[in-house]
Amino acid sequence: CYEEGLYIIINVHHEDKWLNVKTLDTDYEKIGVQLAAIWRQVADYFADYDQHLIFEGMNEPRMKGTASEWNANAAGIAAVNYLNQVFVNTIRTDAKGHNGERALMIPGYAAGCSSAVMNAIKIPQWNGADAENIIVSVHSYTPYDFCLSDTQVNFNRLYQTHTTEINMVFYSIKGLFLNKGIPVVIGE
């Protein structure tokens, strides 16, 4: 893919044994050590690949198996923001090759698309300012009844009842990120 000029995203995906765990909100520092160890190896290995290679620190980080698994709470949000900072620090510190300017994707809690989750995303800091070349990663299965259940089998963009939820997602993305020059990828 890289040799064909495509853009590639590498991430850690559904790491249910050490990242997406019930205790994410309390064990985030220990989780951060493992996250940094993985990303240091990946960053070193792919250092000479240019901006066609994007790193995404985590996929849907959440407190799996809890009442807050898909509905963020303050402690889970803080843990994910902490881990996003660990990820950026790992790639940017002693950056080899293209890692100093590489585009890095960060999610909010569970990569959620609610305005509350997206509003709680803290852009990681680097050298005392918002880190550069950061992309926010969002997942949106909206409207849920159409995308993930069998209760709505048709979607009509002319019906407000079909479009209100997805319109709100895009309005939030635009206001929170795009208007500030922060790109967003809706990965799922």
Positions marked catalytic? 60, 188
Residue of 83, 15, 9 whose CA lies nearest to 46? 9
Q: Please give the Cα distance from 94 to 156 (Å, whole number).
A: 51
Q: Please give the Cα distance from 65 to 22 (Å, whole number).
A: 6
Q: Could you tell me the two tokens for 39?
A: 């990303």
Query: What does the H/E/C string look like for 11-39?
Result: ECCCCCCCCCCCCHHHHHHHHHHHHHHHH
Give the torsion sign (CA, 87, 89, 94, 99): positive
